[in-house]
Chains A and B, each alone.
Chain A
Amino acid sequence: GAGVSQSPRYKVAKRGQDVALRCDPISGHVSLFWYQQALGQGPEFLTYFQNEAQLDKSGLPSDRFFAERPEGSVSTLKIQRTQQEDSAVYLCASFPGAGTEAFFGQGTRLTVV
């Protein structure tokens, strides 16, 4: 497709369950970022990749959060043993190059019950 695609759009998880969120970036985009967004707030940085290399994971809230991009294209954000405070929208953005426009997916809304 032409844009960044995220799946699923909505995910309801029981507390303690593991979840995996997928991001398909725009083809050829080198950089890929993950953000967490609370309702009515700005996106908070989680981690980013340049090709398959994870260059910064300083924003990941805990060691329950793990991200990968093994072949430099599709990325997966995994959250283990989900907790209620993990409920948020998770946004993925890809960039054609450094300092350029970010192209965002529609996000995955995660609700932990």
Chain B
Amino acid sequence: TQLLEQSPQFLSIQEGENLTVYCNSSSVFSSLQWYRQEPGEGPVLLVTVVTGGEVKKLKRLTFQFGDARKDSSLHITAAQPGDTGLYLCAGNTGKLIFGQGTTLQVKP
């Protein structure tokens, strides 16, 4: 049973388009993290959200933590080819558990 469900699993878009990735769970998390992973590398932290309803912005990336701290979303505005990669949400249950990931491909 997947504790964290990510959707979509795969996304292929043109440069300049907007997109949203969702991370949902039936469990409450004390914090939730988003990572980005490129081929041949380990995941790298983008952001940590802690407070229900929290919104954090990182340049063209906007992260939101649900009010009940069970879900989160990542919105990318005007996607660029450099945004291509595997996006992972991760929840802390005493150990860090990952969703199955969203593979994003941005075509020039």
Chain A interface (Cβ within 8 Å of chain B)? Answer: 4, 33, 35, 40-45, 48, 56, 91, 93, 95, 99, 101-102, 104-107
Q: Which residues of A contact B48 (CB under 8 A)?
A: 101
B residues in contact (CB < 8 Å) with A:
4, 6, 30-31, 33, 35, 40-45, 48, 86, 88, 90, 92, 95-101, 103
Interface contact tally, CB-CB below 8 A? 54
CB-based contact A45/B95 at 8 Å: yes
Shortest C-beta distance, B37 to chain A (Å), equals 8
B44 touches A104 (CB 8 A): yes
Q: For the complex, give the distance between the alpha carbons of A105 and B40 in Å.
A: 10
Q: Which residues of A contact B35 (CB under 8 A)?
A: 102
Bound CA–CA A41/B45 (angstroms): 17
Residues of B within 8 A of A56 (CB): 95
**Once the chains bind, are A102 and B41 in contact (CB under 8 Å)?**
no
| B42 near A107: Cβ-Cβ < 8 Å | yes
| Cross-interface CB contact of B101 among A41, A101, A102, cutoff 8 Å | A41
Residue contact B96 to A45, C-beta cutoff 8 Å: yes
CA distance A107 to B86 in the complex (A): 15
- A42 and B95 contact, CB distance less than 8 A: no
Q: Contact between B45 and A48 (Cβ–Cβ < 8 Å)?
A: no
Cβ contacts under 8 Å, A105 to chain B: 42
Question: Could you say which residues of chain A place their CB within 8 Å of the CB of B98?
Answer: 35, 42-45
Q: Are B96 and A33 in contact (CB under 8 A)?
A: yes
By beta carbon, the residue of chain B nearest A105 is: B42
Beta-carbon contact of B96 and A102 below 8 Å? yes
B95 touches A91 (CB 8 A): no
Question: In the complex, given contacts A40-B101, A95-B96, what are 17 additional A-B residue pairs having Cβ atoms less than 8 angstroms apart?
Answer: A40-B103, A42-B88, A42-B98, A42-B100, A43-B88, A44-B98, A45-B95, A45-B96, A91-B42, A91-B43, A93-B42, A93-B96, A102-B45, A102-B90, A102-B96, A104-B42, A106-B41
